[in-house]
Structure 1
Amino acid sequence: MTVSVWREPVQDAWIDYNGHLSEPWYVMVMGHATDAVMDAVGLGPAYREAHDASLYTVEAHVRYLDEVAAGTDLEVRSWVIGVTGKLLWIWHELWAEDRLRATEEILGVHVQRGSSAPFPDDVRHRADAVCTEPPPEAGRRIGPLGEK
């Protein structure tokens, strides 16, 4: 089950010297999608303000699969693919013109007043309710550089 869909147009300032969307902007747009997932599971701005707590990204894996041209509309489809007492795994797919352009897997830890802390029960239940089987590409790593 898709937890959220985030849409955002490519800005001219995001285009690099090759005429395509530059690396950091893929991550920024998927960061906006992470915020939308946080809202969907109850970790939005009101929660952060009331509890001095948020989700911190501790690891991310981005795959740049295809170029994105100026003037393109982006769509990020997001899923929760894992949840524990303090951790949330999010999978993003960045689409443009009906083609998958990038993916990002995020591992976030719930932090309250500067330290990791368990999710409140209601947040954990919402995350569990939308959690889905991870795609085959999740959990990948960059391969070894050589025989060791």
Structure 2
Amino acid sequence: MTAAAAQNGPAMSDWMTIRPEWIDFNGHLNMAYYNVLFDDGIDDIYRLIGFGADYARTRGMTTYVADFRVRYLRELHEGDRVRCAFYLLDHDSKRFHSFQELYHEDGWMAATAEGLTLHVDMDGPRVAPMPDDIAANVAAMQAAHDLLPRPNGVGLPIGIPRKA
């Protein structure tokens, strides 16, 4: 595997810049574009595993997100630079559970996202086991990330707290 297994921390995306067209009438990043940032950030990290556009084109396999939950922690504005941290929390032969953190260039966390992703054979499309080489890359990243502290916010429930 590439650098992902050798890292002392989560996998990190390249830096991304908040575009003017992503700003809503409240003057900050529209909620939909947090998803865009998480999705673009994961593309950088997918290359470490072997996923991505080349994988889909050459091997006829890809990933589909089955569940994705975003927590908005702090506003982002036009021109801000951010990047994603990626933690692989769990996996099996056909899916993986991940957690992402979106960091501003000044070091503070703007948002988190937790997802369940499926490995898909595009001929179906249908959920299918990962090929051995990709499964080995995922397992290597998992082994590296198992050594990291579990990120704050994993598995949080959603709802309105009520007093007893």
Whether contact under 8 Å (1:58, 1:107) holds in the other structure is yes
In structure 2, the partner of 1:137 is 153
In structure 2, the partner of 1:98 is 107
> d(CA) in 2 for partners of 1:22 and 1:50?
35
Identity of aligned residues (%): 26
Aligned CA RMSD, in angstroms, stands at 1.8
What secondary structure sits across from 2:13 in the alignment?
Answer: strand
> d(CA) in 2 for partners of 1:136 and 1:26?
19
Alignment of 1:65-80 (within 5 A): 65-80=73-88
What secondary structure sits across from 1:137 in the alignment?
Answer: coil
Judged with a 3 Å threshold, the aligned counterparts in structure 2 of structure 1 residues 128 and 104 are, in CA distance, closer, same or farther, namely: same
Is 1:16–2:16 an aligned residue pair?
A: no
1:145 offset after TM fit, Å?
7.4
Between structures 1 and 2, the one with greater strand share? 1
* Structure 1 unaligned blocks of 5 or more: none
Normalised by the length of structure 2, the TM-score is 0.82
> d(CA) in 1 for partners of 2:65 and 2:40?
13
1:58 offset after TM fit, Å?
0.4
1:5 offset after TM fit, Å?
1.9
Work out the number of aligned pairs and report it: 147
Alignment of 1:46-57 (within 5 A): 46-57=54-65
